[in-house]
Amino acid sequence: MIAPISSRSKNSATQRSPSQLRPLALAVHVLAAGIALTAPSVQAAEQTEQKENGNSLNLAPIAITETAARERSAVTEDTNSYTTDAARTATPLSMSLRETPQSVSVVTQQRIQDQDLKTIVDVVNNTTGVSVNRYETSRAQFNARGFELNSLMIDGVPTIYEQPWSSGEIFSSLAMYDRVEVVRGANGLMTGAGDPSASINMVRKRANSTALKGSVELSAGTWDTYGVEADVSTALNEEGTIRARLVGETNEGDTWIDMNSDKRQTLYGTMDIDLTPDTTLWFGLSHQENKTDSPMWGGLPVWYADGSRTNWSRSKTTSAKWSKWDTTYDTYFVNLDHKFANDWQMNLSYNRGERTGDSSLLYLSGNPGRNGSAPMSSFPATYKTETTQDDYAIRFNGPFSLLGREHELAFGYVDSKQKFDADSLDAQTGFEGVADFDAYDGNFAEPVWGPRTDYGYSETRQKGLYAATRLNVTDDLKVILGARESWYEKTSDDVFSEVSKVDVDHELTPYAGVVYDLTDNISAYASYTEIFLPQSVRDSSGQTLEPIVGESTEMGLKGEFFGGRLNTSAAIFQIKQDNLGQSTGVLIDPSNPVGGFAYEASEGATSKGFELEVSGELATDWNASVGYTQFTAEDANGDDVNTLYPTKLLRTFTTYRLPGAFNKLTIGGGVNWQDSIHTYATNPAGNSEKIQQDAYALVNLMARYEITDNLSAQVNANNVTDEKYFDLFDAYGALTYGAPRSITASAKYRF
């Protein structure tokens, strides 16, 4: 969905020759080849020596129990913890947070419950190093370390998420997920194409209970919001080898914006079947449906016609009573996990996603006059979209022996196909504008719609062959090496441009990291990662810019204490992104604002900064998550870039269960702070003027009382100081206010 602009256009094929590969990429190639060539000879030498000693060959594999334990320990449900032992979002290897040479945050099930997080937007607003720019009611932009975050995954598989059309993914329910993992920095090894910002991985709940267990939760809150959630797991046979889980949720209510209301429904079902002691079939489906009445399309005007600044009520809207934005998202998935006798494991997976969007929208633009002295222009539109995505993947991982030491290896292949189609209805009426926006209350006659016409389509295919290894050089020194070979094709067309094609072949994405154990609890690490991203923005001549190339370097310290119940990290990082499209603020075609702004390539856009994080159990019954990020983002000329993204972020939340006679009561709270953001837009006088949101802090509180062993009551209060703040829509110099103070009360019964 666009607002209303288009970013699809013509692109020439892009192909990088071997001579153009970056030095580290070549080094990884050479090293991989060296391992492949030397391993047989080394093993032969070991075998000869063993035979001479009268011993049989023994590769001394890593015990499967260790690997399996890591997989199980990654689950955060019923752990009451703010951290986890393992993650597989940065690499295909299952590693602890301490073993991973990148910044990793995990929003656990306990945090989701304590903070009453409902959507992915809620998670991003409360996670170290990432932020949200919500530039209207139904769309938002994620950011990390100075760059846009566009990598959203489910169980490690990139999902259907493409601005500016998408809305439903980021507002979808968390009810079906055990946890959310966030890896910051370039993550091309796992995602293929993307920005060097971060990756968000939503991990589904599994049917892992052999006994009947579950929960039912009722909630009610500000703006007449109500919700019901049920989660039931059980075994379907006496042996417990067939297990099922069903999750259902519904939420509906108004928002702080006039006429705006949401209704969200989620249904998720999954089964685990142990075909043999070593083979498990895991499959399921989900249905998510979001219905939004009177959403805004674009934000509120910053200036009046006389050049003075506006100061709207947070409930003010540009929408109409007939406006809507409805989405559905259906997923189907099947996984086969098998453990071989040599402690190797195989995973086969297939995922299908089907998304539909149905929107009828009103866009108001311009600078209104006070008390109706000047009108605002109007542009009504309606769109229907369909997106399908099929993902096929195979992964092998396990131990191997080299030079007398045990190591781990993972490799696999992924193939993703996505098709997108959009239709529109041209409005025959509805262009008369709004005469007095000060008095506007949503009463805008629904247009007469014309026949349905094709608006645009795209087909994208991405394939990747990857491998990663963890080499145990010494007991204290681990080296992680990996690489991905990618193929990317995208063909697209819309009403504003000719058919365009992006074609990137044999793009090598390296991964290199080193972890050194300084003590039993503290490790030092360093990493270098890369990513690429074909882009569709256009320059002043209407030509698409060449793909973006991102490089990320990070080093720091990580600590693991209290048996893994507390994780800490301190990192410094540098991210460089070449050929990043930056808006010039000038329309490609001044006579056609819908065509969007021209972009120019920015060479050497660089983000430098540091990050601190503590997550887990500080003491018995005391959980905390504290993270601070600070960076600068500049282009090659030293000018600030992406100024809509905050460069200083503080994310905190803690809970404490009171001792003694008050031990049924848990209290908690936190502060989310960010520094100022700004952009420039053209004011009514035709001059560029700065629009700035000053630094602000949001204070959130909670309390939970255990009425019985099975029944609890909880209250969450967000933005308790009622801070007034806004996000910015830089393309049109518009703003959208954030949520005022709100309270939600809930009751949960577990069985």
Residue 89 has pLDDT above 80, yes or no: yes
Element housing 79 (H / E): none
Q: What angle do CA 301, 8, 154 make, to 5 degrees?
A: 90
Q: What is the pLDDT confidence band of residue 26, given thresholds at 50, 70 and 90?
A: very low
Beta strands in 495-547 (DSSP E): 497-517, 522-533
Phi-psi region of 165 (alpha: psi -120 to 50; beta: other; left: phi over 0): alpha
Give yes or no for residue 39 having a pLDDT over 90.
no
Rounded CA separation 193/371 (Å):
49
- Range with the poorest average pLDDT among 230-239, 624-633, 638-647: 638-647
Q: Alpha-carbon distance 316 to 591, whole Å?
A: 30
Q: What is the pLDDT of residue 12?
A: 36
Lookup result for tokens 């760059």? 147
For 241-278, the pLDDT digits (tens) are 999 999 999 999 999 999 999 999 999 999 999 999 99
439: left (phi over 0), alpha (psi -120 to 50) or beta: alpha
Q: Is the bond into 375 cis (omega within 30 degrees of 0)?
A: no
299 and 312 in contact (C-beta within 8 Å)? no
**546 secondary structure, DSSP code:** P
The answer to whether 338 and 322 have CB atoms below 8 angstroms apart is no
pLDDT digit string (tens) for 389-404?
Answer: 999 999 999 999 999 9
Q: Name the residue among 475, 502, 492, 344 with its Cα closest to residue 410.
A: 344
- The stretches of 574-698 forming alpha helices (DSSP H) are none
The pair of three-digit structure tokens given for residue 400, joined into one six-digit string: 């191997």
Sign of the four-CA dihedral 586, 587, 593, 595:
negative
| HSE of 358, CA atoms in CB hemisphere, 13 A | 8
Strand partners, 133: 141
Local confidence band at 164 (pLDDT 50, 70, 90 cut-offs): low
What is the SS3 assignment for 599-618? EEEECCEEEEEEEEEEEEEE
Are 5 and 164 spatial neighbours (Cβ–Cβ below 8 Å)? Answer: yes
Please check the confidence at residue 67 and state whether its pLDDT lies above 70. Answer: no
Q: What is the C-alpha separation between 661 and 420, in angstroms, rounded?
A: 59
From residue 617, give the alpha-carbon distance in Å to each of 81, 193, 380. 7, 36, 52
Conformational region of residue 722, where left means phi above 0, alpha means psi within -120 to 50, and beta covers everything else: left
Going by C-alpha positions, the residue among 520, 536, 572, 464 that lies closest to residue 190 is 464
Helix, strand, or coil (residue 29): helix
Match 């209303």 to its residue by tokens.
4
Residue 269 host element (H or E): strand 261-276
Classified as helix, coil or strand, 169 is helix
Structure tokens at 238: 């006496």
- pLDDT tens sequence across 359-379: 999 999 999 999 999 999 999
Higher-scoring residue by pLDDT: 599, 654: 654
| Nearest partner of 375 among 384, 366, 383, judged by Cα | 366
Decide if 31 contacts 481 (C-beta within 8 A). yes
Q: What are the backbone angles phi and psi of residue 604, rounded to the nearest 5°?
A: 75, 30
Beta strand ranges found along 155-256 (DSSP E): 157-158, 177-184, 198-204, 213-221, 225-235, 242-254
Helix, coil or strand: residue 26: helix
- Average pLDDT value for the chain: 88
- What DSSP line would sit under 277-299, residue for residue? TTEEEEEEEEEEEEEEES--SS-
DSSP, collapsed to helix, strand or coil, labels residue 400 as: strand
DSSP 594: G
From 6-10, 329-333, 382-386, 423-427, the region with the lowest mean pLDDT = 6-10
CA 546 to chain centre: 24
265-274: b or e for each residue (b if 16 or more CB lie within 10 Å)?
Answer: bbbbbbbbbb
Q: Is the pLDDT of residue 166 over 80?
A: no
Tens of pLDDT, residue by residue over 344-353, are 999 999 999 9
Q: Are 646 and 673 in contact (CB under 8 A)?
A: no
DSSP-derived 3-state class of residue 67: helix
Interval 647-660 mean pLDDT: 98
- Tens digit of pLDDT for each residue in 133-146? 988 898 888 999 99
Write out pLDDT tens, residues 555-608. Answer: 999 999 999 999 999 999 999 988 777 788 888 777 777 667 888 877 778 999
Q: What is the pLDDT of residue 36?
A: 40
pLDDT value at residue 163: 58
Nearest Cα to Cα of residue 157 among 387, 349, 287, 409: 349
pLDDT above 50 for 42: no
Q: Which of 456, 385, 388, 386 is nearest to 417 (CA)?
A: 388
Chain-centre distance for alpha carbon 411? 24
Looking at residue 609, its pLDDT comes to: 98
pLDDT > 70 fraction of the chain, expressed in percent and rounded: 88
pLDDT of residue 59: 37
Q: What is the pLDDT of residue 22?
A: 46
How does strand 497-517 pair with strand 14-15? parallel
Looking at per-residue pLDDT, the higher value among 20 and 310 belongs to 310
CB-side neighbour CA atoms (13 Å) of 40 = 3
- Residue 164: is the preceding peptide bond cis (ω within 30°)? yes
Residue 475: exposure state from Cβ atoms within 10 A (0-12, 13-18, ≥19): exposed
Tens digits of residue pLDDT in 214-227: 999 999 999 999 99
* Ramachandran category for residue 25: left, alpha or beta (phi over 0 → left; psi -120 to 50 → alpha): alpha
**How large is the average pLDDT for residues 336-361?**
96
For the chain, the first-to-last Cα distance in angstroms comes to: 43
Tally helices (H) and strands (E) across the chain. 5, 38
